[in-house]
Chain A
Amino acid sequence: MENVMAYSPFLIRGVGVTVALSLCSILLAVALGLLGAAAKLSGSGWARRIAGLYTTIVRGVPDLVVMLLLYFGGQVLLNQIGAMTGWWKYIELNQFIAGVIAIGFIFGAYMSETFRGAYMSIPKGMIEAGISVGMTRTTLFWRVIWPQLVRYALPGFTNNWLTLMKTTALVSVIGLEDIVYNGFAAGRATREPFTFMLIALLVYLILTILSDTGLRALERRYTRGVVRGV
């Protein structure tokens, strides 16, 4: 127990990295998800095909493979481009940024499916009604589409967020000092790997419970105006 106390600042720093990484990745994922959903719903065949390819690849390839490919491959590719064009000298990819790009890229694909489904659930008549009362496109989006998009997308979003948080554990493999990495290091140093890995597990469990309750409260807020059939 005194070992845990001694290492607690080190562990808390790891938790900070995990939380920061999750938040940055979810922002990127939402942005990519909205883009992907817009592409899938757009009239352009090319946009639809590219977005479809994006989802298919991400669904087919395990996240750790994507992460390692982006981290090691991306680094070499950047430096090859740099050497060829002479635009920049040797750069080392930051693990945090590589993690955010990889996780954001992966979950952007899942988010795009969530947003597409949510958009399609909005009754057409609502949008037509908005147009008929003379709303501009911006007003229509913020007053009619966005509140309903959030409502229909929230359950899927909650799922994606819970999975995303757990996926961030993989960044310890590329050496980012998150809770798993720091917990592992502390466990090795003190020869108490079980204690410290169990703490890491509990940290994730607490994060899951907190987000679960928080997002469910948000879901209730956004479904206030809905009368449930059953």
Chain B
Amino acid sequence: MESLLESIRVFSSETSPLDFYLVLQNWSLFWKGLQNTLLLLVLSLIAGGLLAVPLAIIRATRVPILNPIAYGFIYFVRGTPLLVQLYVIYYGLSQFEAVRDSAAWVILREPWWCALIAFSIGTAAYTAEIFRGAIEDTPRGEVEATIAAGMSRVLAYRRIILPSAFRRALPAYGNEVIFNLHTTVIASTVTVIDVLGAARTFNNKYYLAYEGFITAALIFIAIVFVITRVFNLMERRMLRHLVRA
């Protein structure tokens, strides 16, 4: 057993183009990275989703005054790189003494929280446009039915329009989740140890060029695979009425 392990180690470090044994020895680093990546992904999706629903309703129903503001916000967020948005929040805000003296400084000086804020804003803007399209595509008949049943506007949105829109938005939202996963690697540029941050730390520690990045790439492919599967299952369940016989 000992000699087998030893020969695997020797093969890994001397013959194989990738030192996979070294990667396995540092699994706790990558595990920590994976936890941070998933935490940033899930929390930003929740915060962004909560922000996206009112934005989408404002846009779809063209609420006066608020609609142009929402559109401006969405255009600005979607028209500029997330990396720079994160730099503005993390490095930029510290320029102002008022920010450094405020209570929010506890959060704004932490790269992890800044990354979460930037990702939430980003995914909110993209998700809002997806939801807006889905709300605008609500069949006229469904809206008429809510009026005929005497529902108030709020009740109609809560019971009929939003649930039906969420279902229609599901395939596009699945893409947005994967897209958001990809953008979380930007956290590594402000020293957060996410999957890519772990890969960069690992490569620097052992002076390697590709082992860490390839490991990171494989981890991301695995996560994307799982997300795709989950969304396929959800679509099959929630869009069952649309499946052709």
Near B by CB (< 8 A), chain A positions 174-225 give 180, 184, 187, 191-195, 197-198, 200-201, 204-205, 208-209
A201 touches B94 (CB 8 A): no
Q: A57-B221, A204-B80, A205-B80 are in contact. Are A62 and B181 (CB under 8 A)?
A: yes
| B200 cross-chain contacts in A, Cβ below 8 A | 68
**Cβ contact of B79, chosen from A76, A77, A200, A205, cutoff 8 A:** A205
Could you tell me the distance between the alpha carbons of A209 and B87 in the complex, rounded to whole angstroms? Answer: 22
Asked whether A122 is an interface residue with its Cβ less than 8 Å from the other chain, the reply is: no
| B184 cross-chain contacts in A, Cβ below 8 A | 62
A187 touches B91 (CB 8 A): yes
A209 touches B196 (CB 8 A): no
Could you tell me the distance between the alpha carbons of A184 and B199 in the complex, rounded to whole angstroms? Answer: 24
Interface string of B170-186 (1 = CB under 8 A from A): 00000000100111111
Could you tell me the distance between the alpha carbons of A198 and B181 in the complex, rounded to whole angstroms? Answer: 25
Could you tell me the distance between the alpha carbons of A109 and B202 in the complex, rounded to whole angstroms? Answer: 29
Asked whether A173 is an interface residue with its Cβ less than 8 Å from the other chain, the reply is: yes
| A77 cross-chain contacts in B, Cβ below 8 A | 209-210
Could you tell me the distance between the alpha carbons of A85 and B94 in the complex, rounded to whole angstroms? Answer: 52
Asked whether B84 is an interface residue with its Cβ less than 8 Å from the other chain, the reply is: yes
| A191 cross-chain contacts in B, Cβ below 8 A | 95
| B188 cross-chain contacts in A, Cβ below 8 A | 64
Could you tell me the distance between the alpha carbons of A144 and B189 in the complex, rounded to whole angstroms? Answer: 47
Near A by CB (< 8 A), chain B positions 141-186 give 178, 181-186
**Cβ contact of B93, chosen from A60, A169, A180, A194, cutoff 8 A:** A194
A73 touches B210 (CB 8 A): yes
B178 touches A201 (CB 8 A): no
Interface string of B69-108 (1 = CB under 8 A from A): 0000000100111111101100111111000000000000
How many residue pairs, one in A and one in B, have C-beta atoms under 8 Å apart? 113
Chain B minimum-CB-distance residue to A172? B83
**Cβ contact of A64, chosen from B178, B181, B185, B210, cutoff 8 A:** B185
Interface string of A68-85 (1 = CB under 8 A from B): 110011011100000000
B76 touches A65 (CB 8 A): no
| A interface residues, how many (CB within 8 angstroms) | 39
Could you tell me the distance between the alpha carbons of A157 and B184 in the complex, rounded to whole angstroms? Answer: 25
B76 touches A205 (CB 8 A): yes
B186 touches A60 (CB 8 A): no
Asked whether B214 is an interface residue with its Cβ less than 8 Å from the other chain, the reply is: yes
| B84 cross-chain contacts in A, Cβ below 8 A | 169, 180, 197, 200-201, 204
Near B by CB (< 8 A), chain A positions 51-109 give 57, 59-66, 68-69, 72-73, 75-77
A62 touches B196 (CB 8 A): yes
Chain B minimum-CB-distance residue to A200? B84
| A69 cross-chain contacts in B, Cβ below 8 A | 210, 213-214, 217
Could you tell me the distance between the alpha carbons of A184 and B184 in the complex, rounded to whole angstroms? Answer: 21
Q: Can you spell out 17 A-B residue pairs with CB atoms less than 8 angstroms apart?
A: A61-B221, A62-B181, A62-B182, A62-B196, A65-B185, A69-B213, A77-B210, A166-B82, A169-B83, A169-B84, A180-B83, A192-B95, A195-B95, A204-B81, A205-B76, A205-B79, A205-B80
List the 7 shortest-distance A-B pairs measured between CB atoms, nearest first: A73-B210, A194-B92, A169-B81, A76-B209, A208-B79, A60-B221, A62-B182
Add 20 more A-B contacts to A72-B203, A166-B81, A169-B84 (CB < 8 A): A61-B217, A62-B196, A65-B199, A65-B216, A65-B217, A69-B214, A72-B213, A77-B209, A77-B210, A167-B81, A169-B83, A170-B83, A193-B94, A193-B95, A194-B91, A194-B92, A197-B84, A201-B80, A201-B88, A208-B80
Instruction: Spell out B's residues near A (CB within 8 Å).
Output: 76, 79-85, 87-88, 91-96, 178, 181-186, 188-189, 196, 199-200, 203, 209-210, 213-214, 216-217, 220-221, 224-225
